[in-house]
Chain A
Amino acid sequence: MSYNAAKDLEYIEEQLCFYLLVLGLDGSELRGYTIDEIINKARLLTPLPIKEYEEKDDKDPIYLYILNQRVSLIGNIRRLWYFRQLALGAFTYGI
């Protein structure tokens, strides 16, 4: 069996829909959102005074917790979005 872009895309979009729901967006409208809209919504969910805190040697644990939640949330969305573009791209090559 060769690469199945439809199956791959189905899995990726299911995961992305979960993240949209986490952000309070409509998971069934995935194809209507831009990556800018999704990432900006994720940033709003984890607001942080990053510049102010990054200069401190002794960082507040709550700051570190939220920072890592933010990095994780945005990182996973970006990666899934990239994988989705690759799967959609495979379709253009008839896979």
Chain B
Amino acid sequence: MKVPARSTSASDWDRLVAAARDDTAPPVALATLLRAVRLEPYPPRPEWVAEFLGLFAGTRALATCVAGIGGFALLVGWQAWTFLDSLPWAQLLDTATGGGVS
């Protein structure tokens, strides 16, 4: 787990990292930062669009795809079942294939 520093031991690497953690960041120019934020054009987007796009973001994408495929399969299965009861599938198939099935 430990990484030795250049030609030294693992504990030296630990000491180096510990010392590096004490390094404090120089301050940034807040006025410049605020000016940049103020000037950045803000993209207005209707609430419902953001929520809709949120459905497809990150970890939800897979669940959304699975739900979509499941819903589609359910719909197609239901339709097929309905038509299977009400239509003469065998005759239609027979006609379409020129009597090759029977």
Answer yes or no: are A and B bound together in one complex.
Answer: no
Residues of chain A touching chain B, judged by Cβ–Cβ distance below 8 Å, are none
